[in-house]
Structure 1
């Protein structure tokens, strides 16, 4: 994140691969004094959800693998 901020000081948003990375990005942004960057995490972890509720993360995206698997395992035949 520090390298990204050096290369792109006007960054406006960060989409992290998971909530832990998003929270790390938030810490780096705070250290750099940047409070206007939107940060989105992924996985819907309890820490990610808390950060959203606290107004720190803009969002966390939760997948529902059980539902994805159930839909994928059903035959999808259309006539």
Structure 2
């Protein structure tokens, strides 16, 4: 899909592995013509951000998200 539809300017991936697959399919357009963003903040994702092939990776902390107690407004 990414190779056939060259008008795509952005990709959001649910994890770094998917994003890196998109980067590969984009044949060098990632980080230039196409912005690619992913969740996870894995070491591979951080390296790709530093290399300029991945625009951003978002680190989640599920242990903090699931342990919040509602204290009211």
TM-score by length of 1: 0.78
TM-score by length of 2: 0.83
Where structure 1 has 5 or more consecutive residues not aligned to the other structure, the ranges are none
* Stretch of structure 1 that moved more, 10-19 or 34-43: 34-43
Structure in which a larger fraction of residues adopt helix = 1
Equivalent position of 1:27 in the other structure: 24
- The alignment yields a C-alpha RMSD, in angstroms, of 1.6
Equivalent position of 2:54 in the other structure: 57
1:4 CA drift (Å): 3.9
Structure showing greater Rg: 1
Where structure 2 has 5 or more consecutive residues not aligned to the other structure, the ranges are none
User: How many matched pairs?
Assistant: 71
> Which contiguous aligned blocks of 4+ residues in structure 1 show a shift greater than 6 angstroms?
none
